[in-house]
Structure 1
Amino acid sequence: MLPDPNSLYGPLDPAPEAGYENAPPRMGFFTDTSVCIGCKACEVACKEWNGVPESGLDLLGMSYDNTGALTANSWRHVAFIEQPRPAGHDAAPADVLAAPADVLGAPVDADPTRPVDAGPQFLGMPGAQPPGRGTGVEERTDFRWLMMSDVCKHCTHAACLDVCPTGSLFRTEFGTVVVQEDICNGCGYCISACPYGVIDQRKDDGRAWKCTLCYDRLGAGMTPACAQACPTESIQYGPLDELRERAAARVATLHDRGVPEARLYGHDPNDGVGGDGAFFLLLDEPEVYGLPPDPIVTTRDLPKMWKRAGLAALAMVAATVAAFVGGSS
């Protein structure tokens, strides 16, 4: 059943809406790209736990990015984006992006008297050294890497659910969206419906595959494999409301420390998809990371279209009947 288009943009708890009584808190991911080091531990952990086939070793000419995008065989993708440093970036304290974390993963104010270590801020090319290290290796500070571990967004209003003809895609009690590959018929409707281009088909069987947010681990009270493996707590897992509060505090901290470009993406329950179950802290515009700036539910106009199609069909039937009656008389 398609959602009411008038309710698409309001806050919604998707699990109770899907019929779960006494559903647990909605769970999700907060990915803080400001502390992502591009290690790809999340990619490896995802593949190992879920039995996802290898993606190959082609470097694609894009730094160390050997996966390239989210695909049926890459449910997590760590993007490497090279760009000139933004104006004033060097003026920010060097420990801004690598502030220590407390037990909840929220940033803790660094000691202002501690000597500044340029290492955590440096995001130059591999082989180059941070300024002042005195290694004799050529130093590069004119551009930086932005790194982001991308994943399915587990949308509040998920268009993929609207178009699946077999019920292969379903909403879980945790508010996430999962594909049951054993009943997927490979129609591909969900692929074109996803506003983020997340879902993909495997060439050998044609079925749709994507991140499940480790549904089997959630049911056992465990942390998803990618978040468990992340060494910097760039990927944080927990109740979505708590993650949103934590993310807002992190952005405020970065702004106070001279990183005005820090912003959240996918956290707003009043955006075009009702907010995402996996949202991000970015250091540049969404387009830089390959994300749509204003995602929408691609099926939002379907109820109106079906209504218009029905009215048009009735009008045609009425005209045909009128012509037949008029001709016979």
Structure 2
Amino acid sequence: MGFFTDTSVCIGCKACEVACKEWNQLPADPPFEFTGLSFDNTERLSASTWRHVAFIEQRKPADSGDQGTAGLRWLMASDVCKHCTDAACLDVCPTGSLFRTEFGTVVVQQDICNGCGYCVSACPYGVIDKREDDGRVFKCTMCYDRLVDDLTPACAKACPTESIQYGPLDELLPRAAARVQELRQDGVADARLYGHDPQDGVRGNGAFFLLLDEPEVYGLPPAPKDTTRDLGSMWRHAAVAALTLACGIATAFVAGPR
């Protein structure tokens, strides 16, 4: 199961943010301040914000063909944990606090999280965050407690434009591909999918997106990679280096002073 977020129909209402906070009883964010990011006051995903609606203002040439004028385009997108297929956070968790559910999603069990923070640095998207007053990490669960009762996640349920769609990934993926083709036929040449490819650095995401510009514009890494992919070879190299050092020390000790 997963999310398909079609940013082309997001209206920036933040209903998903509010529904997520309400259902999961998340603490309030610090007092809102001017961030310089249009109407985006939460700025990013965090331990207390599991859905984040970004507002991106762009100056674009006017459609009239007059290159001397420019129009304002707003890109709005609701971001969330990607629930990676190759989830580095799972690999580095020493307590088993992070686990893969029967729905294919990744969830943190707060009752056994020791607050080590390994998962925070391992996440290629910078999603997982620690509450400093609590010490544990938190992130989107895709409303696991709703899924087990066959209910739609709160954010998707609240979205008035169906920008956030929830369902089996094998149904969402062809629907998303068809939507991209529709937009391109309508002249939206920059429409593209992000996080859908099982051949990418995390073997695809459980939450993928239709974007109208480069991923970097939305604050997303262009080529995310499982940060633990090279751990095996790194440990092997470390073991060889340690063995070589131990042999060198032993040889020096046996030889002794002359």
What TM-score results when the alignment is normalised by the length of structure 2? 0.94
Aligned to 1:31: 5
Match for 2:206: what amino acid? G
Deviations 1:250-271 (A, max 9, x none): 0011111111110000000000
Q: Which amino acid aligns with 1:71?
A: S
Confirm or deny that 1:256 pairs with 2:185.
yes
Matches within 5 A, 1:181-220: 181-220=110-149
Bigger Rg over Cα: 1
Shift of residue 321, structure 1, vs aligned partner: 2.4
**Once the two structures are superposed, what CA deviation does each residue of 1:136-181 show, in whole Å capped at 9, x if it has no partner?**
xxxx971111000000000000111111111111111111110111
CA pair 86-207 structure 1, distance change in 2 beyond 3 A: farther
The unaligned stretches of length 5 or more in structure 2 are none
**SS class of match (2:18):** helix
2: CA distance between counterparts of 1:241 and 1:86? 38
User: Is the aligned partner of 1:173 residue 2:102?
Assistant: yes
The Cα offsets for residues 40-87 of structure 1, whole Å up to 9 and x where unpaired, read as 000000001001111233342322212110011100000000001356
Which residues of 2 match residues 54-73 of structure 1 at below 5 A?
A: 54-55=28-29, 56-73=31-48
Structure 1, gaps ≥5 residues long: 1-26, 92-139
> What SS class does the counterpart of residue 85 from structure 1 fall into?
strand
SS in 2 for 1:203: coil
- The residue that corresponds to 1:323 in the other structure is 252
Residue type of the partner of 2:48?
N
| Mapping of residues 48-59 of structure 1, within 5 Å | 48-55=22-29, 56-59=31-34
For 1:4, the equivalent position in structure 2 comes to none
Q: Deviations over 1:169-210 (max 9, x none)?
A: 111111111011111111111111111010111121121110
Q: Secondary structure at the match of 2:256?
A: helix
Give, in whole Å, the separation in 1 of the partners of 2:190 and 2:160. 24
Mapping for residues 104-119 of structure 1, pairs under 5 Å: none
Distance 2:256 2:132 in 1: 56
- Report the counterpart of residue 43 of structure 1 in structure 2: 17
Q: What amino acid is aligned across from residue 293 of structure 1 in structure 2? A: P
Secondary structure at the counterpart of residue 52 of structure 1: coil
Code of the residue aligned with 1:222 in structure 2: it is L
C-alpha separation in 1, matches of 2:61 and 2:86: 35
| Partner deviation per Cα, 1:79-107 (whole Å, 9 max, x = no partner) | 0000013565x79xxxxxxxxxxxxxxxx
Measured against aligned partners, the alpha-carbon deviations of 1:93-134 in whole angstroms (never above 9, x if no partner) come to xxxxxxxxxxxxxxxxxxxxxxxxxxxxxxxxxxxxxxxxxx
Counterpart residue identity of residue 58, structure 1:
E
1:143 to 56, 63, 72: 72
Which position in structure 2 is the counterpart of 1:230? 159
Contact 2:62 2:71 in 1 (8 A): no
* Residues 1:164 and 2:93 aligned together: yes
- In 2, Cα distance between equivalents of 1:189 and 1:33: 31
Letter in 2 for 1:310: A
Relative contact order, CA 8 A, sep 6+: which one is greater?
Answer: 1
Distance 1:58 1:75 in 2: 19
Q: Which residue of 2 aligns with 1:81?
A: 56
Count residues with an aligned counterpart. Answer: 254
What value does the CA root-mean-square deviation take over the aligned residues? 1.8
Query: 2:197 matched to which residue of 1?
Result: 268
Aligned equivalents of 1:270, 1:310: Cα separation in 2: 31
Give % identity.
72
Equivalent position amino acid for 2:187 in 1: G
Distance in 1, matches of 2:38 and 2:181, equals: 31
Structure 1 residues 86, 189: CA separation in 2 closer, same or farther (over 3 Å shift)?
farther
Per mean C-alpha deviation after superposition, the further-off stretch among 148-157 and 50-59 is 50-59
